[in-house]
Chain A
Amino acid sequence: MTAYLLRRLAIAVATLFVASLVVFSVLEILPGDPARLMLGLNASPDALAALRTEMGLDRPLAARYLDWLGGMITGDFGRSLTYSSPVIDLVKERLAVSFPLALIALTLSTIIAIPVGVFAAARRGKAADTVAMGLAQVGVAVPNFWFALLLVYVFAVSLRLVPAGGFPGWGDSWASHWQALRALILPAISLALPQAAILARVTRSATVEVLGEDYIRTARAKGLPYRRVLWRHALRNAMIPVLTIMGLQFAFLLAGTIIIENVFYLPGLGRLIFQAISQRDLIVVEGVVMLLVASVILINLVVDICYTIVDPRLRGGR
């Protein structure tokens, strides 16, 4: 187990290093001058030069790369070129929105998808299965921003139950926690439904496959009730592909939610990256992308560990 983890760790470090090289060089090739973007159309050449020096953009490429890499190793992600605050603070602020949002959305989608998937698998080929999977198909096909707008018009504009968007911050009282949570309800639902649709389909097909296995017949022959066989034996064995998809979905939910963040004007990670790219705030883009690479690696590791929990055979081996 330890050797296995160590090997995984070495791979992770190598991946991070290669990613840092790719991210840095891609962004350097990108046309656009951050100083010019800050100072606009009327800027004089000497003001531009002064700002470039202030931003450190006049130094050679290799020196900047090494500085950045060295900084990251010691936990210093540098300072944003446009916002004059440290990158790590910007990321922390955004994670306060993106992380809870991703967590709520993933929980919602799991709560919906797994029962629906198992239920459809148990009634394979029957009307209930067709209806459930038809709905899932619609869920996959409907664009989430359209669905989000629909929710806004119904629940915010007409019924006025929740705000149409924005995020008030978590605050320090229960009342403000609740306000913050309220602001995340509609975005979480609009993110969760398409994910749930995908997850339900995966759960169904994995369960259907498992239900055809010999051990299921053995369990039934032993006299176990069908319900128990379904939930204890079939679902557990079907969990491996489901966990894989959930890991991918969580990584996506952390940073790939720019469209939903725009519809609800939430200050999440996706918008930070988008803004930083259009402002050519390279240091922020580089820092955030590296953190995301790291979190994807971490999520995959967690998923791997979860595999060994659901499937004890994986524990000893490798």
Chain B
Amino acid sequence: MRMFARSLAAAVILAASASAALSARTDLVLGVVLEPPHLDPTAGAAAAIDEIVYANIFEGLTRIGPNGDVVPALAESWEISEDGKIYTFKLREGVKYHDGTSFDAEDVKFSIERAMGKDSTNAQKVLFSGIQTVEVVDPTTVKVTLQQPQGSFLYNMAWGDAVIVAPESADGNKEKPIGTGPFKFGNWAKGSSVTITRNPEYWGEPARLEKAEFRFIPDAAAAVAALLSGDVQAFPNLQAGDALPQIEADPRFKVVIGATEGETILAMNNGKEPFNNLKVRQAISHAVNRDEVILGATNSHGVPIGSHFSPANSAYVDLTGTYPYDPEKAKALLAEAGYPDGFSATLKLPPPPYARLGGEIIASELREVGINLEIIPMEWAQWLEQVFTNKEFDLTIISHTEPNDINIYARDDYYFSYRNPRFNEIMTKLDATVEPEKRKELYGQAQRIIAEDAVNVFLFQLPKIGVWDAKLEGMWENMPIQANDLTKVRWVD
């Protein structure tokens, strides 16, 4: 009898451990390059914030899906008035914040008015500038009235900067974010990692992972070592460099090259001699060999662009042939513009590898047509102040990572100082257009104007090199918005 009891106990233990081994893993460690300054997406532009909290901890009225389209989130559905000015959102019922307080229409009004307010430190305040009033109709209905029709309104409300927060917890979100998402904030070990855990009371489909840790690894070599040793199982965007072929050959990992919203450009100071001359800008565009730059700066993973628009967008027009690589023509254009012997200029480069590597190649290409560039490497703070704020630059290389941002060419005091009333007119029209086909056509016109004006040299769409464990599923392939949405991520055997 005793014997029997003992073997039974052994069998139970065996069975228990066997079933534990069979059920899939529910934890994940992701590697990200930068640590966010804080965790409130409504009070900072750092992509590192959204890369942790977007869709995981915080949700907005709408959200962006893996393919870049706008889908419902906290708003179940919406109606748009005939004149396109009034949006009536029907909110989900029974939604609770992570601290137990409930979500209703008052929170929506609070969040939007907080972002629009005088003391607002929202980095994308312009997203809310078209809103006139926000009215609470009943606890699950909100009416937003715009000053004029705005075709991009639903898209704007899907940004991380437009997430819905609660008045009770909004001020503490920087340190302890409280949202409505499928994951709750766990803890933040400053300098090393942020951990989030599954929210058991989530209103929608619950997350498959029980725990996810975002580990901050700024050094590329350290990131590769962490992946190979198994310490980190997923890098949504790995700066692998030369180590990528080795990782691709390893059956333990999946390598997925996706697209981001980062239009990488050689920006020219259109407000300054000689770049205010269209012929000079055209000459520079002809002198740059895009394929060579893409090879050198991204190991050929970047997708060439001919205007400031993502190839992943359905309104994309291929304009890469507008000013093809042609050094002879570049020289001729320079001569016509009054610079037969070329000229000298500076090229100010921010820290990312795409800028530093691309800059070397572009400098040598422009030397071929007689333009001598002095390369000035800078750190971010310096770049933001000199180039972006004070416009003290000739040329620079930068990736504009905000989604759908062709409208920056309509800002008169933007750093590259481009002014074209015809373009601004199209942007105004676009804002007032809701119908998708018409919007597409207007987007096409806008892309053509800036391509033909050779405002900047449009280089490539910044690639996203995702590397993760081959048994992991549900990671985003592309990055239509800065996010690492883990809601569908799971381990399979």
Interface residues of A (CB under 8 A from B): 30-33, 36-44, 46-47, 50-51, 54, 82-85, 90, 93-94, 97, 149, 152-153, 156-157, 160, 163-167, 169, 262-268, 271-272, 275, 278-280
Tell me the nearest residue of chain B to A271, going by C-beta: B191
Q: In whole angstroms, how far apart are the Cα atoms of A50 and B118 in the complex?
A: 8
Residues of A within 8 A of B231 (CB): 156, 163-166
> A165 touching B226 by the CB < 8 A rule?
yes
> A166 touching B215 by the CB < 8 A rule?
yes
Q: In whole angstroms, how far apart are the Cα atoms of A85 and B176 in the complex?
A: 12
Tell me the nearest residue of chain B to A40, going by C-beta: B45
Interface string of B117-155 (1 = CB under 8 A from A): 011111111100100000000000000000000000000
Interface string of B202-226 (1 = CB under 8 A from A): 0000000000000111110110011
Q: Is B21 an interface residue (CB 8 A)?
A: no
Q: In whole angstroms, how far apart are the Cα atoms of A84 and B44 in the complex?
A: 12
Q: Is B372 an interface residue (CB 8 A)?
A: no
> B38 touching A37 by the CB < 8 A rule?
no
B121's contact among A47, A83, A93, A280, by CB below 8 Å, is which?
A: A47
Residues of B within 8 A of A163 (CB): 229, 231
> B37 touching A267 by the CB < 8 A rule?
no
Shortest C-beta distance, B240 to chain A (Å), equals 15
Q: In whole angstroms, how far apart are the Cα atoms of A167 and B193 in the complex?
A: 9
Q: What are 13 A-B pairs with beta-carbon distances under 8 A?
A: A37-B380, A43-B123, A83-B38, A90-B190, A93-B191, A160-B230, A163-B231, A263-B222, A268-B191, A271-B191, A278-B379, A279-B37, A279-B381
B222's contact among A90, A165, A275, A280, by CB below 8 Å, is which?
A: A165
Given contacts A93-B190, A164-B226, A262-B222, contact A82 B217 (CB under 8 A): no
Shortest C-beta distance, B404 to chain A (Å), equals 12
> B121 touching A51 by the CB < 8 A rule?
yes
Given contacts A31-B381, A36-B389, A38-B46, contact A85 B175 (CB under 8 A): yes
**Total number of A-B contacts with CB less than 8 angstroms?**
152
Residues of A within 8 A of B118 (CB): 46, 50
Shortest C-beta distance, B239 to chain A (Å), equals 13
> A157 touching B228 by the CB < 8 A rule?
yes
Q: Is B27 an interface residue (CB 8 A)?
A: no
Given contacts A38-B44, A42-B126, A83-B190, contact A50 B121 (CB under 8 A): yes
> B219 touching A265 by the CB < 8 A rule?
yes
Q: Could you list 8 further interchain pairs (A-B, Cβ under 8 angstroms) beyond the known A85-B190, A149-B221?
A: A36-B388, A38-B121, A39-B45, A42-B126, A51-B121, A54-B119, A166-B231, A265-B217
Interface string of B254-267 (1 = CB under 8 A from A): 00000000000000
Given contacts A37-B384, A44-B125, A265-B218, contact A156 B175 (CB under 8 A): no
